[in-house]
Chain A
Amino acid sequence: MAVAADSVGVVTPRKVAIATPLLLACGRVLPGFELMVETYGVLNAARSNAVLICHALSGDHHAAGYHSADDRKPGWWDSAIGPGKPIDTTKFFVVCLNNLGGCRGSTGPTTINPETGALWGPDFPIVTVRDWVASQALLADHLGIDAWAAVIGGSLGGMQVMQWTIDCPNRVRHALVIAAAPRISAQNIAFNEIARQAILSDPDFHGGRYIEAGAKPERGLKLARMLGHITYLSDTAMRARFGRMLRDGDGQYNFNYDVEFEVESYLRHQGNSFVDRFDGNTYLLMTKALDYFDPAREYGDDLASAFRTATAKFLVVSFSVDWRFSPARSREIVNALIAAGRDVSYARIDSQLGHDDFLMPIPQYHAVLRNYLDRVAAEAGS
């Protein structure tokens, strides 16, 4: 495979062991933990050009490039990260990790609990966005990074960005909050609850000890992902992409429950491919982290108060047809930042797809990211 000039190429993840105990929001303590990490670009001598990428619900440390020369798919945000791309790896040292509780190599339900010698499984503590930020701060210590030139994330990743600016105000110079919300709505929690119930009620769930039972809650996980995908796409995008198209070209209804409409085929495919790469317990705890995120809660439900100690400059981006994390929710973040007197710019990108647009190379979106990050790079002296 010929690697494109604007690709970071073949990358190798590595595991970073953190020996510092971490007190979690739930009250439990992790004596130590491991994080799977990928980095792209070079940390400059002043250590001022580091950028942290925070992943969303089903993301991981593999944000850009390929894991081998014959890898078919690049990392999940390869459209934005690479030489000459908006998150330019010739200027920035880009760090991406699999969050605590994940299932791609970091300490989580699919790793061994050293105290018991058994898989963590359902005993892994439910972690919050704040816990993630605390673990990422320990990672920054490990990498020798005092302050990030920028912390960037979309969706649940954007929530981590906000939490960074509140919890570690002196360690974030720029915060890029993309397709996020200051807290999720009842409707959003409802979607998450259905996803969780699908997994929890799967006969193969075995109280979360499915790996030991030699099983996997595939049906539940698949349903959860199918539901998620509906909410990541706009009605218009679904009409445009699938309409009422039938899979069989003869145009006849089959009068059975096999895959018949194209949209059914798409959802089943998304569900099936997700099952292969994701873990049920991780999906459960990731959705809980989403539900619990609410930084204003400790500040009398006043988001502006939460942002008053932040010192970062902000770029907030939303997408016009995203209804899962709508532009109105991004405006709530912007309004709170203005009320708190923070520097903030806000771009509302005209888009087609829905929530998933934050992963797309939409020209205006990338122009805004590029313009903003070029200034960040100049400021970082890279």
Chain B
Amino acid sequence: MSASLRPDLALISNWIAPGSRILDLGCGDGALLAHLAKTRQVRGYGLEIDDDNVAACIDAGINVIQADVDDGLAEFADRSFDYVVMTQALQALVRPDQVLAEMLRVGREVIVTFPNFGHWRVRVALLGGHMPHTPALPANWYDTENIHLCTLADFDALCRDANWQVLERALLDRSHRTGASIRVAPNLFCEIALYKLRLPG
């Protein structure tokens, strides 16, 4: 599985200490948790709403809890996980800010990834008068699951306003690589952002 692991997931696993407890929100078929179990000896649980994904996780021997992230994390105790992870699902939530706050309550650290709506392709599309169709955001405005898109600058502002501490950040293009252009003008060239957050203190 590691051979075909998405590069952003590989990056996330480098941010995770061996032997830790992980909650993966919207875990899909459990690829990240399977990788982390093998390479980092983590004890993990995935939260997943989709029937087929739940069956796939069980087939792969991944601990999966069938639940809707939008229903909140009230079932989980404060600081009951070392990491709470969510990849590429933040923008599809009803209240991403509230879910992030919940993730920071339940986990000591939070790892989150999202598509950057400040990317130049998005801006070009909007200048042309249309909602963007980009490789990172291929859906139509009317059938997209993404209801709360944001730019890097917006996300940074939220972290600042909420007083969340950014421990690490990785900014990638759509091939999940970093590069000189992203370093020079991150909000124009980053397509996928990875953040590691925690509460201050």
Residues on A facing B (Cβ under 8 Å): 315, 331, 334-335, 338-339, 341, 343-348, 350, 364, 367-368, 371-372, 374-375
Contacts and interface: CB of A to CB of B under 8 A. Distances in A.
B80 interface: yes
B75 interface: yes
A347 B80 CA distance: 21
7 contacts: A315-B58, A335-B76, A339-B77, A343-B63, A347-B54, A348-B66, A364-B51
Contacts of A368: 54-55, 58
B200 interface: no
Contact of A345 (B21, B57, B77, B80): B57
Nearest to B80: A339
Interface string B58-79: 1101111111000000011100
A365 to B, nearest CB: 10
Contacts of B59: 371, 374-375
Most buried by A among B55, B64, B80: B55
A345 B61 CA distance: 9
Interface residues of B, number: 20
A344 B61 CA distance: 10
Contacts of B65: 334, 338, 344-346
A367 B62 CA distance: 15
Main secondary structure of the interface of B (DSSP, over half): mixed
B55 A345 contact: no
Interface in B55-113: 55, 57-59, 61-67, 75-77, 80
Main secondary structure of the interface of A (DSSP, over half): helix
Given A371-B58, A372-B58, A345 B51 contact: no
Given A334-B75, A371-B59, A375-B61, 7 more contacts: A338-B45, A343-B43, A344-B65, A346-B66, A347-B66, A367-B55, A375-B58
Closest 8 CB pairs of A and B: A371-B59, A371-B58, A348-B66, A346-B65, A367-B55, A345-B64, A364-B51, A347-B66
Contacts of A348: 66-67
Contacts of A343: 43, 63
A331 B61 CA distance: 20
A372 B21 CA distance: 22
Interface of B: 21, 43, 45, 51, 54-55, 57-59, 61-67, 75-77, 80
A370 to B, nearest CB: 9
Nearest to B75: A335
Contacts of A335: 75-76
A374 B56 CA distance: 12
A345 B75 contact: no
Contacts of B45: 338, 344
A364 to B, nearest CB: 5
B43 A345 contact: no
B174 to A, nearest CB: 33
Most buried by B among A335, A338, A368, A371: A338
B61 A346 contact: no
A191 B57 CA distance: 37
A352 to B, nearest CB: 15
Given A335-B75, A339-B77, A346 B55 contact: no
A270 B67 CA distance: 35
B75 A346 contact: no
Contacts of A315: 58
Contacts of B43: 341, 343
B77 A346 contact: no
Most buried by B among A331, A348, A375: A348
